[in-house]
Structure 1
Amino acid sequence: MPQIKIILSILLLLCLLTMPYGYYQLVRFIAMVGFGVLSFQAHKKEHQPEMVIYALLALLFQPFAKVALGRELWNVVDVIVALALLISMFTKSYNSDLKNQQKEQDRLDRKFPKNK
């Protein structure tokens, strides 16, 4: 999953450069597929808010019924989404570490109960 987020972030940030129109079309298609995969993975983990956000991003970037925002606004959207993807990788791992630490502590507490 982090690989998808990194690839999408790089592709979206490259959209800030002047590229041929075909590149933007390709990015929209790859983003739609990537966000669809992220949405499905969030669904499997029962992370409802993430699933909805990724599904909405897949709809926003889909290349079939284009959302016309203008180049400047698309650049802003691309940067915000790319940064959010990168930030989510770090906050997710931090939250996962905390959950794992809590699970380990709970396991130890059951194994060695404290006398009160």
Structure 2
Amino acid sequence: MKNSQLYKGSLNTIILKLLEEKGRMYGYEITQKVKEITNGELAITEGALYPALHKLEAEGFLEAEVEKVDNRLRKYYKLTENGQLETANRLSELEEFIRNMQTLVHPKWSY
């Protein structure tokens, strides 16, 4: 299930959750952390990640800081205050969605 359509709707929530846990991260670091956490089952491409990061930044949920690391500029992202609230909201929605899907997949039929 490496790049399933099921994950595409959750990309922003994944990004927000990782930033909530780590404080700040740069793009490549996010892709590698997702790969590590999912044991390689989920691979986020740069083509999906960077538009999502830019959209979250434009919406005011992320802010970026540029730092020079090993003679290269690296852009770090972190949550804004609104981003912290949005993360909590999205995680709550995702948990509810997962509960509903579990109920649909494994219904307890009453006859």
Q: Check whether TM > 0.5.
A: no
Q: Shorter-chain TM-score category? A: 0.3 to 0.5
Structure holding more helix per residue: 1
Larger Rg, first or second structure (1 or 2):
1
TM-score by length of 2: 0.39
**Structure showing the higher strand proportion among its residues:** 2
TM (normalized to structure 1)? Answer: 0.38
